[in-house]
Amino acid sequence: MPLTSLPTPPAFLTVRVELDDGDVHATTLCAGFERGAWRQADFVGYLFSYLLEFAFKWSVLGQINSATASRMIEEAARKVYATPNFSKRGEFGELLLHAALRNHFGSESAVAKIFYKSGDNDTVKGFDCVHVVENEDAELELWLGEAKFYARAADAVRDALISLASLIETERLKREFAIVRGHVDDNWPYAAQFRALTEGKSLDEVFPILCLPILLTYDSPAVGAAAAITPEYQKALAAEVTTVFERLKADPRLPREIHVHLILVPLKSKETFLDALHERLLSYQAR
């Protein structure tokens, strides 16, 4: 169920394939085509509709109006560009994960990722998102995500699982919870509920309400060969995402005691898409 303290920009990506084996769920999000071309420009515009809430904490978002919007967009672009991870374009994967969770799972961000530091120094990388989702019983679930903006699906699966193995180690995870609680905006309507999810709790109590969303991009042969949403395209897409799903499930590094939600975003070309994202980000700074 969607949380309600922030409005959600209109959805752009379409769910094309879903897979579920009880322990792992997979959702494939498709940008689609227009007049024979993959919808890259619209995809870029969609992602940047989330730039402000990706960059600012909840109480700052309340200050956006017609007089402040332009300045805050420029500031948000500078914040993303100045992050240590930007040289590898990792922030774009995190922005995509943020947008996917907000639009397709009704989440809200518990902390602004730009300000979120993990561990005891800046060289230690934390979760790529810290969100909450309301379940069917109107209770909050904690969604701690990992994003890999890659060209090869196999590489993305491997590196995502390596990252998660480190992040969910017992003492590291407890430290992460403490750090995140300290970054939660006190004015956020769900602040007290969020802190109660982990504060003073055994991990045995936390794991049932914890979900690990793993967002992976990859250069898709199905997307590259298509010009429209056709039965042939959907069949080819289903085949390739099923292969990724099975690879993830079979990997011994997959966490078995925590629910995992795989989010796949097939691209026509990672490099071309990233160039377009980079160009848009620089255009905001130049205003």
Which contacts (CB < 8 Å, 24+ apart) does range 113-122 have?
Answer: 113/54, 114/54, 114/55, 114/79, 114/80, 114/83, 115/57, 115/183, 116/179, 116/180, 116/183, 117/179, 118/176, 118/179, 119/172, 119/175, 119/176, 119/179, 122/84
Rounded-to-integer distance, Cα 18 and Cα 16, Å: 7
225 in a domain, yes or no?
yes
What pLDDT, on the 0 to 100 scale, is given for residue 87?
A: 46
Residue 2 lies in a domain: no
Please report whether residue 129 resides in a domain: yes
pLDDT per position as a tens digit, 31-49: 999 999 999 999 999 999 9
How does pLDDT run across 189-232, given as a tens digit for each residue?
A: 999 999 999 999 999 999 999 999 999 999 999 999 999 999 99
* 3-state per-residue secondary structure call for 228-272: CCCHHHHHHHHHHHHHHHHHHHHCCCCCCCCEEEEEEEEECCHHH
Question: What value does the mean pLDDT take over residues 46-54?
Answer: 92
Q: Is the pLDDT of residue 247 over 90?
A: yes
Q: What percent of the chain has pLDDT over 70?
A: 90
Q: How many CB atoms lie within 10 A of CB 70?
A: 11
Q: What is the mean pLDDT of residues 58-81?
A: 80
Choose among 54, 61, 45: nearest CA to 83. Answer: 54
Residue 179: CB atoms within 10 A of its CB come to 17
Question: How does residue 118 score in pLDDT terms, banded at 50, 70 and 90?
Answer: very low
Q: Greater confidence, 149 or 7?
A: 149
Nearest C-alpha neighbor of 268 from the set 13, 37, 14: 37
In-domain check, residue 217: yes
Give the C-alpha separation, 125 to 166, whole Å: 10
63, two tokens: 């200050």
pLDDT at residue 281 above 50?
A: yes
Are 195 and 186 contacting, i.e. CB atoms less than 8 angstroms apart?
A: no
Distance CA 69, CA 6 (A): 16
The pLDDT value recorded for residue 112 is: 83
pLDDT at 146 over 60: yes
Report residue 119's pLDDT band, with 50, 70 and 90 as the boundaries.
very low
pLDDT of 161 strictly over 90:
yes
34 domain-assigned: yes
- Give the pLDDT mean for 12-35: 96
Q: What is the arithmetic mean of pLDDT over 150-173?
A: 95
pLDDT of the residue at 4: 61
Domain that holds residue 25: 14-285
Q: Is the pLDDT of residue 287 over 60?
A: no
Domain total of the chain:
1
Q: How confident is the model at residue 120 (pLDDT cuts 50, 70, 90)?
A: very low
Segment 78-83 mean pLDDT: 70
Mean pLDDT score of the chain: 89
Residue 5 counted as domain residue? no
Does residue 132 form part of some domain?
yes
Q: What is the mean pLDDT of residues 125-134?
A: 89
Is residue 7 included in any domain, yes or no? no
